[in-house]
Amino acid sequence: MQNPRKRGNVMSRIRSGWVGLLLLTLAVLSVTLGCAAFVPPGPPIDSPKLNQELCTGYLPTNELPNSLTLLPPPPAPDSTAFAADQDAYRLTRVLRDTPRWELANEDAALLAETFSCALEAPIGREATPHLYELMVRSRFDAGHATGRAKVYYKRVRPFAMTGEASCTPHDEPKLIQNGSFPSGHAAIGWTWALILSEVAPDRTDALLERGYAFGQSRVICGMHWQSDVDAGRLIAAGVFARLHADPAFRAQVEAARVELADIRSKGLKPTRDCKAEAAALAFTIPGAP
């Protein structure tokens, strides 16, 4: 019979290893999310703590939906589901060196302004500080919520499995050790689409279409399998629901609504090239997701 003290030491080491892996994944996510690079220098807006708060989400990590318990395992290598993942990947290779490939590259940067065309309004720290804070902080909630499943499954990303370059080769060294399942980018993009649809319900269709395309950019880029992206959207739904129990998030949504109404009354438009974005999104493949 195993010595209880020895067994306890083994379990303690296992737990320590798990915590270490989770912290490592969260650290990689923080680098990927680019907090320091994402928040431009400048004075605080509305709150003396805003600069610091923009580097965190609304929720403590332990209050985020648990991706490991919410999601089924990723498709097994010999499954028909993984065959479908491979088919989706192969179909999208024809988009390499097209405007859609370049848009996937832009989407990888996780910039809040990415949704400004769909919103038909500028999104930025100066023009819309409440909306900007809402998106930056929710970005960390959605991204970190994918961490547990990423650590546990350690799924290999398409570019690493196939040896083909992704649309962001500079990201490959730091992401090759970061699990592919579920997609953090897809979780963030779908969370943003849901939040913005609440702020601007009249733009729901355009925002959800852009949020869907944002996730598909990860398949096009070669960074994620289709099932990674689908799972990321499920996590986003859980994060979106959980955020509504947070008073600070709800207050920010209301402030963003007022702010957007003011922006619209002034006739301010997106700063992005919306015609070019629409043209890039028009590149589709028959039979592709």
Reported as a single tens digit per residue, the pLDDT across 10-28 is 334 434 444 444 444 444 4
Total domains, the chain:
1
pLDDT digits (tens, 9 = 90+) for 243-270: 999 999 999 999 999 999 999 999 999 9
Taking only the tens place, the pLDDT of each residue in 132-189 is 999 999 999 999 999 999 999 999 999 999 999 999 999 999 899 899 999 999 999 9
Give Cβ neighbours of residue 248 (< 8 Å, ≥ 6 apart): 58
The pTM assigned to this predicted structure is: 0.84
In a domain, 253, yes or no: yes
Flag whether 287 is in a domain.
no
Q: Is residue 126 part of a domain?
A: yes
**Looking at the domain assignment, is residue 226 inside a domain?**
yes
Give the range of the structural domain holding residue 108, as residue numbers without chain letter: 4-281
Report which of 117, 81, 71 is spatially closest to residue 277, judged by C-alpha positions: 117
From 139, 224, 233, 272, the catalytic residue: 224
Sign, Cα dihedral of 74, 78, 80, 85: positive
Active-site residue, from 157, 218, 233, 272: 218
**Domain-located, residue 210:** yes
Q: Does the residue 220 lie in any domain?
A: yes
Residue 130 annotated among the catalytic residues of the structure: no
Q: Name the burial class of residue 240, with classes exposed (0-12), middle (13-18) and buried (19+) by CB atoms within 10 angstroms of its CB.
A: buried
C-alpha span between 160 and 225 (Å, rounded): 12
Q: Exactly one of 185, 203, 210, 272 is catalytic; which is it?
A: 185
Domain with residue 175: its CATH number is 1.20.144.10
Catalytic residue among 100, 130, 228, 272: 228
